[in-house]
Structure 1
Amino acid sequence: MDNPTSRRVYGTDHDDPNPGPRPGCTYAELVGGPLDGQLLDVTGWTEEDRLEGAYLITEAGQYGEGGRADYAQRPGDPDRWDWHGDIP
């Protein structure tokens, strides 16, 4: 990842004075879609959990408040998760 310290971690508050990554945590970069460039904290996730991907709540997606963005590991690059669309 390019300079992950300058990136926002998914789920941090917008007024958080330190929305970037924390030491000792493991992150995946979200690529494309409404959460592009954010980091997802996958610390403690099993390999199976990571392979399942995640539906992440976002107000910035196609369905607005309460909608979710579908992200899954990029084949061959588990540190990057690609967007596969939005769901209500």
Structure 2
Amino acid sequence: MTEHTRPRIYGADHDCTDPSSTRPDREYVRLDGGPLDGQLLEVTGLTADERTAGAYLATPYSVYGPSGRTSYGPTFSHPDGPWVWEDDVP
């Protein structure tokens, strides 16, 4: 994978010199579908219950505008990822 095709890390600062740089001591899941499609979410330190529950993530691209959130979670067939888009929430 080339530098320009590596997925962006969710939450990386926009002025970060390499927003797609993963760290070997961290765990990530890929976000599939929805407004954050293709980004990686760091899940290091999440408990098994937290990983099962998924996450509401802030995004300027939801149907609710910049103050909206979007929901991603694991599927039963792939509990370790990727997390799939579920819906936008206010």
TM-score normalised by structure 2 residue count: 0.88
Report the equivalent of 2:36. Answer: 35
- What's the offset of the Cα at 1:23? 2.1
- What's the offset of the Cα at 1:71? 0.4
- Tell me how far apart the structure 2 counterparts of residues 36 and 55 of structure 1 sit (CA, whole Å): 14
- Tell me how far apart the structure 2 counterparts of residues 16 and 64 of structure 1 sit (CA, whole Å): 24
Structure 2 unaligned regions, length at least 5: none
Percent same amino acid among aligned pairs?
46
The runs of 4+ residues in structure 1 deviating greater than 6 Å are: none
- Tell me how far apart the structure 2 counterparts of residues 41 and 23 of structure 1 sit (CA, whole Å): 11
The count of corresponding residues between Structure 1 and Structure 2 is: 85
Paired residue secondary structure (1:49) = helix
- Tell me how far apart the structure 2 counterparts of residues 26 and 76 of structure 1 sit (CA, whole Å): 19
Amino acid at match of 2:19: P
TM-score normalised by structure 1 residue count: 0.90
- What's the offset of the Cα at 1:14? 1.6
Report the equivalent of 1:12. Answer: 12
- What's the offset of the Cα at 1:9? 0.6
The higher radius of gyration belongs to 2
Report the equivalent of 1:50. Answer: 51
Structure 1 unaligned regions, length at least 5: none
Question: RMSD over aligned Cα, in angstroms?
Answer: 1.3
Paired residue secondary structure (1:60) = coil
- Tell me how far apart the structure 2 counterparts of residues 14 and 75 of structure 1 sit (CA, whole Å): 33
